[in-house]
Amino acid sequence: MKRIYLDHAATTAVDREVVQAMLPYFTETYGNASSLHSFGRDAKNALDAGRQTVADALGAQANEIIFTSGGTESDNLALTGVGKGHIITSSIEHPAILNTCKYLTGLGCEVTYVPVDSEGMVDPGDVESAIIGDTTLISVMHANNEIGTIQPISEIGAIAKDHGILFHTDAVQSFGKTEIDVRNMNIDLLSVSSHKIYGPKGVGALYIRKGVKIKPLMHGGGHEMGMRASTENIPGIVGFAKAASLAVERFESDTRHLTGLKDMLIAGVMDSIDDVTLNGNPTERLPNNANLRFAFVEGESLLMHLDMKGIAVSTGSACSSASLDPSHVLLAIGIAPEDIHGSIRFTLGRGNTESEIKYVLEVLPEIVGKLRAMSPLAGR
Amino acid sequence: MDYSEKVMDHFANPRNIGEISDADGVGTVGNPTCGDMTTVYIRVTDGRIADIKFKTFGCAAAIATASMTTELALGMTLDDALAMSRNDVADALDGLPAVKMHCSNLAADALHAAIEEYLAK
Ligand code: FES
């Protein structure tokens, strides 16, 4: 059976060019970047070049980039590294932020969660009014992983700067899909991940603006300017850097391609199926995210029917989560739990085609119709 | 999610979907854990379940257990149907993932509610 992957917010396939770039670093250039001999120097050169590439993609300097094991570690490092006293974040952050905040609360920090509007947007005014005397850090994600809403982070960054507070943003979903310039956006700390941009898993980075002091999470041999001990994952870093440079190179064509497919999918679903709503902001939105709510049906059933047709998506339904809790993001934008059940996230990627979207539009109305026919909620 | 082949079969091709317009008993049960719902309709002849239909708003396990419940209950005496437990249904489906066991309450409870409504008439 033909399989169609529409879950790129979860992870992506590694680009073949990225794999090619990585391969020599397993078997030939395998030195430890800390060693003084030629093997070590070759590895160090690759590390330096990778750091420069990732820095360039963010408008940063090379010595402001720390490589990590991924987005979750970057978020943990940023928050535990600078967070004390009072921290401000949003109610729709990724669990890597929310659970780190919970951890910090246990250590005596106080956390304010600013709400979002019905399209998932943070009001910078709410952030500003949450600032108190000992606020040390504001952390608001750049784009949401479930509904794709892009936050006004330049404005929030400017507010943080005015008040002399550090500003962190989790840019794991937005990196490669929206412009990022850490200087213009007043960002002090920013998390990115490789496997969301067609790079390998297990590698990411934290941008730390020059002059910002952070406490490390990992203690050891003084790697990464003393901020992240552990022998550098050179093949991973080379792959991440290659993926980042491809993302920059292909930014315009990717954006055009993804926006076209996303608009085709949303319009096609709305045309062929009744009682469907788009979750999130219609315009301030990642170009590859279509999060749609199908009234009267449950998301896990819908997901599994799509899976039987070879189509891979995700859902915010309580039934699909181990805890049986509905998505905290969809709750935060004010959707009733029974409506959250029918929410499906389609996230498109570079490799998707128009004919794949056509196929989705062919099979989806029948599946929704079948589930609605057996739903006691439909036609009430 | 690791569903058995039987669960996937009953999910993909559920038996006895629909309503019975002049049913002898109707039972609707909502699942407080995740907010799902199942309705079971029965027709009773000579103390046995002569016809049974269901509607479910829920996950694959909820749909499959409802389908299996109706299949097992069809032709049963009311006493036997009342004695049928969620474990009987889960067993008939070759088991359910632990996190999905609560879903199997829906159909059995809705069936019992339908029988009780009939008996109360
Ligand atoms: S009906 Fe919600 S988890 Fe099964």
Q: Domain A251-373, what architecture? A: Alpha-Beta Complex (3.90)
pLDDT attached to residue A313: 97
pLDDT attached to residue A222: 87
pLDDT attached to residue A269: 98
A374·B34 Cβ contact <8 A: no
- Rounded to two decimals, the pTM is 0.95
Of A320, A326, A376, the CB nearest to B57: A376
A319 is catalytic: yes
Which residues in chain B are closer than 8 Å to A374, comparing Cβ atoms? Answer: 14, 17-18, 54-56, 63
CA distances from A288 to A6, A357, B52, B62 (A): 9, 12, 45, 32
Distance A268 CA to ligand 1 centre (A): 29
Listed residue (B82, B15, B35) closest to A339, CA to CA: B35
**A223-248 residue pLDDT tens:** 999 899 999 999 999 999 999 999 99
Lookup: tokens for A15 = 């680009």
Above 70 in pLDDT, residue A380?
Answer: no
Mean pLDDT of A271-282: 97
Mean pLDDT of A280-299: 96
Listed residue (A245, A174, A258) closest to A18, CA to CA: A245
Above 90 in pLDDT, residue A339?
Answer: no
Q: How far apart are CA B32 and CA A111, in angstroms?
A: 31
pLDDT attached to residue A318: 83
β-strands A166-170, B48-57 pairing: unpaired
β-strands A343-347, A314-315 pairing: antiparallel
Kindly list the strands in the beta sheet with A276-278, ordered across the sheet, starting from the edge strand earlier in the chain. A276-278, A289-294, A343-347, A314-315
A298·B59 Cβ contact <8 A: yes
Q: Hunting for tokens 């096609």 — which residue is that?
A: A268
**Chain centroid to CA A303:** 21
Above 60 in pLDDT, residue A179?
Answer: yes
Q: How far apart are CA A306 and CA A265, in angstroms?
A: 15
Mean pLDDT of A286-310: 96
pLDDT attached to residue A324: 82
Cβ of A366: how many Cβ atoms within 10 Å? 12
B60·A338 Cβ contact <8 A: no
pLDDT attached to residue A321: 79
Above 80 in pLDDT, residue B120?
Answer: yes
Nearest CA in chain B to A305: B12
Which residues in chain B are closer than 8 Å to A376, comparing Cβ atoms? Answer: 28, 37-39, 55-57
From the list B8, B34, B83, B119, the catalytic residue is B34
B78 in reach of chain A (CB within 8 A): no
For ligand 1, residues with CB inside 6 Å are A 319; B 31, 34, 36, 58-59, 61-62, 100, 103
Burial class (CB in 10 A: 0-12, 13-18, 19+), B18: exposed
- Residues A192, A58 contacting (CB under 8 angstroms): yes
Q: Between A and B, how many CB-CB pairs are < 8 A?
A: 63
Q: Hunting for tokens 């980039």 — which residue is that?
A: A65
CATH of the domain at B56: 3.90.1010.10
A377·B38 Cβ contact <8 A: no
pLDDT attached to residue B1: 65
pLDDT attached to residue A77: 98
pLDDT attached to residue B86: 87
Total tally of structural domains belonging to chain B: 1
CATH of A16-249, one of 3.40.640.10, 3.40.50.2000, 3.60.20.10, 3.40.630.10: 3.40.640.10
**Helix and strand numbers, DSSP H then E, in chain A:** 13, 13
> Which residue's alpha carbon is nearest to atom 3 within ligand 1?
A319
B36 in reach of chain A (CB within 8 A): yes
Mean pLDDT of A182-203: 98
Q: Hunting for tokens 């292909």 — which residue is that?
A: A250
Give residue limits of the domains in chain A. Answer: 16-249, 251-373
**B49-71 residue pLDDT tens:** 999 999 999 999 999 999 999 99
B35 to chain A, minimum CA–CA distance in Å?
A: 6
CA distances from B15 to A129, A306, B39, B53, B73 (A): 57, 20, 14, 8, 12
Above 60 in pLDDT, residue A215?
Answer: yes
Q: How far apart are CA A75 and CA A141, in angstroms?
A: 10
pLDDT attached to residue B33: 66
Mean pLDDT of A330-347: 93
φ, ψ at B106 (rounded to 5°): -50, -55
Q: Specify the amino acid at residue B90.
A: A
Q: What share of chain B is helix, strand, coil (3-state, %, to 5)?
A: 45, 25, 30
Burial class (CB in 10 A: 0-12, 13-18, 19+), A321: middle
φ, ψ at A33 (rounded to 5°): -60, -15
φ, ψ at B39 (rounded to 5°): -120, 135
Above 70 in pLDDT, residue B32?
Answer: no
Of A301, A326, A377, the CB nearest to B63: A301
**A106-141 residue pLDDT tens:** 999 999 999 999 999 999 999 999 999 999 999 999
3-state SS class at A122: coil
Q: Hunting for tokens 């029948």 — which residue is that?
A: A366
Atom of ligand 1 nearest to the CA of B61: 4
A338 in reach of chain B (CB within 8 A): yes
As for the ipTM of the complex, it is 0.92
Which residues in chain A are closer than 8 Å to B1, comparing Cβ atoms? Answer: 300, 304, 320
φ, ψ at A143 (rounded to 5°): -135, 140
CA distances from A60 to A161, A183, A262, A344, A350 (A): 17, 7, 31, 36, 26
- Residues A66, A227 contacting (CB under 8 angstroms): yes
Listed residue (A376, A346, A347) closest to A364, CA to CA: A346
Nearest CA in chain A to B100: A319
Higher pLDDT, residue A11 or A2 = A11
A304·B60 Cβ contact <8 A: yes
The range of the structural domain enclosing residue B103 comes to: 5-120
Task: Pick left, alpha or beta for residue B28 (phi over 0 → left; psi -120 to 50 → alpha; otherwise beta).
Answer: beta
